[in-house]
Amino acid sequence: METIKLNQNFLNIPESYLFSEVAARVAKFKSEHPEAEVISLGIGDVTRPIAPAIVEAMHRAVDEMGSAETFHGYGPEQGYPFLREAIAEHDYRNRGIDINADDIFISDGAKSDLGNIGDIFSSACRVAVTDPVYPVYVDTNAMAGRAGKPVDGKWDRIEYLPATEANGFIPPLPSRQPDLIYLCYPNNPTGTVLTRAQLKEWVDFAIKNHCVIFFDSAYEAYIHTTDVPHSIYEIEDAEKVAIEFRSFSKRAGFTGLRCGYTVVPAALQLRDSRGEKVQLRKLWLRRQTTKFNGASYIIQRGAEAIYSSDGLRQTGEQVDYYMHNAERLLQAVRSAGLEAVGGVDAPYVWVRCPQGVNSWEFFDLLLGELHLVSTPGSGFGPAGEGYVRLTAFNTREATEEAARRIESAKF
């Protein structure tokens, strides 16, 4: 057979089997128990439809596309100024944060940007992640050759910072001199948050150790607690060390429409190996203008409508809807005698398995006994073992029924 030189990093990555294994076990259960009413609290996708203000804005944009005078072809790679201005005003300046529209890059979602950001860093960079973690951070670094070799469920060049019951789900600062640190708050999968003082420790660490923090705040809209920062740039000097990733997916139901943005502040300047100061924003702009042709005009008009007064109210009601579900789930698991965190500032409840039961065993138990689909915590990293994640993204009725089943169970 002819051979071809492939990217060996891809060949080293273990098969990602978390959601496919969940799907396979659920399919098997349903075929054996066709009468069972299975409720999914598993996958992190939303269920509420797109808010009317957004739908109307996209209809108008579609009509513009159908007429020669208002047609839009290729747009600016960085995103249309109308959307970047709306973001800068509502998500930053209104919160007293000095972020400029020029620092904002519109994309087709946070996942792409989180994966692509590695393009502007060397494959020699050392990476630290909290554990359990959104798998995209680890796998994209493995693809880029930064992760080393997989050993016992971990990559040997990545530093894992465990968030466990013992440390109150506040991971320790790195000890292995990383260059790049991934933080996700509110956290997926644990649903936990960092206070302003706790986040400040990370920013201070990054300044002192010349690291870049990738701050994923996809769940920012779910924050209710007052002392929890919505943006890392609320912390003094964070604009010198942090790139922030945001998404309209969980905030406004854009999981299918696809739109998000990344903030690379002008102040984020590091010295390269020759001692020259480099502005990361310039590199990211170069990367985007070369490899990305922008998010769709129609979708960006839809995203802009999130910031209209109707849009803010309607999407706010959707977030409240899910958070009511989260509150109900948290109450149910606790009244069933289980320990849990999250569910207050995030649409996820992180549930400790009963004594002596591992993540997959508890997954099977919840499916077999209560006909509920969860996500095994071990799929998010070694420190996720012994937990399952429940999502608040199902409908009110299905979540209420799931909560009743959990309350009636004995663990």
Ligand X SMILES: *Cc1c(COP(=O)(O)O)cnc(C)c1O
Binding site for ligand X (CB under 6 A): 44, 109-111, 134, 184, 188, 216, 218, 247, 249-250, 255, 260
Which residue number places its CB atom closest to ligand X?
A: 109
Q: What DSSP string describes 355-397?
A: TT--HHHHHHHHHHHH-EE-EEGGGG-GGGTTEEEEES-S-HH
Cα gap 253→227, rounded to integer Å: 26
DSSP state, residue 269: E
| Shortest distance (Å) from residue 177 CB to ligand X | 25
DSSP assignment of 300-344, as one string? Answer: HHHHHHTTSHHHHHHHHHHHHHHHHHHHHHHHHHHHTT--EEESS
Q: Which residues contact 220 (CB under 8 A, 6 or more apart)?
A: 91, 186, 230, 231, 246, 251
SS3 235: coil
Residue closer to ligand X (CB basis): 130 or 405: 130
For strands 39-40 and 372-373, give the pairing: parallel
Kindly state the smallest distance separating residue 299's Cβ from ligand X, in Å: 12
Phi, psi of 351 (to 5 degrees): -110, 130
At its nearest, how many Å lie between ligand X and the CB of residue 230? 15
Nearer to ligand X, 103 or 216 (CB): 216
**Amino acid, res. 61:** A
Q: Provide CB contacts within 8 A for 275, sequence distance 6+.
A: none
Nearer CB in complex with ligand X: 114/340: 114
CB nearer ligand X, residue 9 or residue 255: 255
Nearer to ligand X, 199 or 370 (CB): 199
DSSP tag of 164:
-
CB of 364 to ligand X, least distance (A): 24
Tell me if residue 251 falls in helix, strand or coil.
helix
Query: What span, in angstroms and rounded, lies between the C-alpha atoms of 177 and 73?
Result: 46
Residue type, 110: A
Minimum CB distance to ligand X, residue 136 (Å): 7
**CB 222 to ligand X: min, Å:** 11
CB of residue 283 vs ligand X: minimum separation in angstroms? 22
In the bound state with ligand X, the residue whose beta carbon lies nearer, of 305 and 336, is 305
Identify which of residues 231 and 247 has a Cβ nearer to ligand X in the complex.
Answer: 247
- State the nearest-atom distance from the C-beta of 231 to ligand X, in Å: 15
Comparison of 250 and 405: residue with beta carbon closer to ligand X: 250
Of residues 211 and 259, the one with the C-beta less far from ligand X: 259
User: Cβ of residue 349: shortest distance to ligand X, in angstroms?
Assistant: 14
CA distance 210 to 188: 26
Neighbours of 358 (CB within 10 A): 16
The tokens for 141 are 């670094």
